[in-house]
Amino acid sequence: MFTRIPFVFIALCVLVMAACGRDGDRPAGLNLSDAPLLQLATPTQVREGKVAPASYIVAFRDLVPRTAGPLGERALGVRQHALAFEAPWIQRAIRQAPRFLSTMNLSFPGRTFASPRTSLRPMPLLHEQLPVEDSMASLVEVNFPSPEEAASTLRTWMDEGRIWYAEPNVKQDLKGDIEDNLVKTFKDKTDTPWLTQVSWVEAIQKLATVEGKAQPIIAVMDSGVDVLHENLKDAIYINETGANKLCRNDYYGCNTTKAQKEVLGDGNVYPTGTQDYDQACPPQSENCQHGTHVAGIIGARGSETFVGMCPYCKILVVKVVEIEKNGDKESFAIKDSSILAGLAYVSGFKVGGEPLVRVINASFGKFERSRSVELFIRSLKNFGRGTLVVAAAGNEDTMKRQYPASFEDVLSVSNVLSDTLAPEKSPSSNFGMWVDIAAPGDGECKFSSQGIDSTIPGGGSDCKRGTSMASPIVAGIAGLVLTQEPNLTASALEARLRDTAIPDYLYQDGVNNGYRPNVQGAGLVPLLGGGVVNALAAVDPTLDKSPPLLTQRSDRVRSGCGILGSTEASGSAQQVGWILLFLPVFLSLRGLRKHE
């Protein structure tokens, strides 16, 4: 009898492993059980203009046949989708030609930009028996004749199994609290307290001993950049070879705000609100300065009064902000489709099968969560060495999650005053357990001004404050790390920045007491991140320092059947799986020996 027990246990274990993690027909890579697969724009969103009217981001299922070419090969995808869009069930429902954004692997995001293959569970001996197909989706911007027809059609498509999910094409209004305050003054480089706070000079001295430094590329997704600014022109990444075919005439970068047939946009990346480069922003149009200011914090050079955090880095300009006109009124907005097209554009830069762009700075945010944006960011982070997204936590002085900052795969940045001994939280900065790290983005700046000094369109510099300024400080320091360690993975880079952040002054007695509550059972809970980013510690992690204060994000728990149910399980999960598989065999054999 005992001779049969091991085989019975093995069979049961195999059946359990085969069943684990399978949640009907839902793609495992989504893991968004807190959001319905079909999300329709609410009347409030429509009334307040927070969504593009009757416009949706739709993830179609099996819209085109599988191909042998890379998923990221856009030219092939565009041709295939152009034919698919001619299908009667699509044509009779839309208002204008759909805009194909990208193909996406929902089951295994890290394989999105690799060649299609049969996905296999990470259990070697079970590969043959338990193949798991990739769940492929086509991300498309679809514009319907009316909100009512959009809702009706999307429900039909979902019932018929034609789409994985759909969500409103949300746009962000860059006015009010979201916009950072701008003050037009100048200051001397010796009066830049944020550089002292993050040990920037010491980090540059350390890097001076490194030979053959790399020139990491950091994408600035924002309102466009004055690429001819005297202090920025040498930092701009120039696509001289036309290596990326996803955007038309993208010499300086890509503007993804305008739908283009067969491409993601065009190369007009001058600041939103101007007509060309090297032009000052119009009066009362401070929004158009945003992207140039952010780019300067990352890579400005050649000035005696301000400097970018990574003077070795190159900046890829991705314009995602557009002006919307309603009569005589103008507003600045970012649509989800523009963000997705921007991420798709970044993904098109590869070298040796690895991502060329290693860091993306996103100094924008909204409270609405986009499944498509989250999945694309996860895909970029897991493709090859990966691309790390650094994002501003927002300027509403709230714990409410802002996206993309609070996505699991994004490094979220809060804003503190540029004071080494007492880096108090900036009055406007958002906070919460979802924040990863703090950085200076406020404080003394030239005379009575507040903020960070950096470039503005048309030449010169100004002070600007907010998490929009704190985020590029972290992104620039990430670039400093990559200059000497270009092969670090995105996850390792993120861990380096978080692990070397300095908590000592941020959470000392009398400073930020309200943002370090003592929770029973959890101890000290930091709400501004694990500490203030430190350039020197990041480039030289062997230095003695205080460990950061870290918390577990509440959205890091994944659905599935225990450890074995997770998609693309880790090595430790595989070990647990094998232990569970062979433990009954071991116990049964012991039982046999006892009965002999």
* pLDDT tens digits, 47-85: 777 888 899 999 999 888 765 455 556 667 788 888 888
For residue 139, which of 39, 29, 56, 263 has the smallest C-alpha distance?
56
The CB density around residue 269, as the number of other CB atoms within 10 Å, is 29
Buried b (16+ CB within 10 A) or exposed e, 328-366: eeeebbbbbbbbbbbbbbbbbbbeeeebbbbbbbbbbbb
Question: Is 298 in contact with 470 (CB distance < 8 Å)?
Answer: no
Question: Is 383 in contact with 347 (CB distance < 8 Å)?
Answer: yes
Task: Spell out the domain ranges in the chain.
Answer: 1-21+560-596, 26-173, 176-539
Question: Is 387 in contact with 216 (CB distance < 8 Å)?
Answer: no
Range list of H helices, 138-274? 147-159, 193-197, 200-207
The CB density around residue 151, as the number of other CB atoms within 10 Å, is 17
In sequence order, what E strands does 214-336 have?
Answer: 217-222, 253-255, 314-319, 322-326, 329-335
Could you tell me the two tokens for 137? 């989706």
* Pairing of β 322-326 and β 314-319: unpaired
Predicted confidence at residue 373, as pLDDT, reads 96
For residue 214, which of 532, 595, 479 has the smallest C-alpha distance?
479
Burial of 82 (0-12, 13-18, 19+ CB in 10 A): middle
In sequence order, what E strands does 46-97 have?
Answer: 51-61
* Pairing of β 253-255 and β 314-319: parallel
Distance CA 88, CA 98 (A): 13
For residue 529, which of 363, 415, 360, 395 has the smallest C-alpha distance?
415
Nearby residues of 85 by Cβ (< 8 Å), 6 or more positions away: 91, 97, 98, 100
For residue 470, which of 546, 512, 544, 533 has the smallest C-alpha distance?
533
Question: Is 178 in contact with 395 (CB distance < 8 Å)?
Answer: yes
> Helix and strand tally (H, E) in the chain?
14, 22
In eight-state DSSP terms, residue 227 is T
* CA pseudo-torsion sign 285, 288, 292, 295: positive
Question: Is 115 in contact with 66 (CB distance < 8 Å)?
Answer: no
For residue 406, which of 398, 150, 213, 55 has the smallest C-alpha distance?
398
Predicted confidence at residue 364, as pLDDT, reads 94
Instruction: Convert the pLDDT of each residue in 78-125 to its tens digit.
Output: 888 888 888 888 888 887 889 999 888 888 777 777 655 444 444 444
Predicted confidence at residue 420, as pLDDT, reads 85
Match 């943002």 to its residue by tokens. Answer: 515
Distance CA 430, CA 471 (A): 13
What's the CA dihedral at 47, 51, 54, 60 to 10 degrees?
-150
Residues (pLDDT < 70) of the chain are 1-35, 66-75, 114-133, 173-190, 286, 325-330, 521-522, 551-596
φ/ψ of 417, rounded to 5, equals -70, 145
Question: Is 324 in contact with 172 (CB distance < 8 Å)?
Answer: no
Q: What's the half-sphere exposure (Cβ side, CA atoms, 13 Å) at 77?
A: 26
The CB density around residue 91, as the number of other CB atoms within 10 Å, is 11
What's the CA dihedral at 358, 362, 363, 368 to 10 degrees?
-160
Predicted confidence at residue 30, as pLDDT, reads 58
Cα 159–Cα 162–Cα 164 angle in degrees, nearest 5: 90
Predicted confidence at residue 115, as pLDDT, reads 55
Q: How far is CA 4 from CA 1, 516, 588, 589, in A?
A: 6, 58, 9, 11
Fold held by 176-539: Rossmann fold (3.40.50)
Cα 115–Cα 117–Cα 119 angle in degrees, nearest 5: 130
User: Do you find a cis peptide bond into 131, omega within 30 degrees of 0?
Assistant: no
Q: How far is CA 490 from CA 85, 342, 506, in A?
A: 36, 19, 26
- For the chain, the farthest-separated pair of C-alpha atoms sits apart, in whole angstroms, at 93
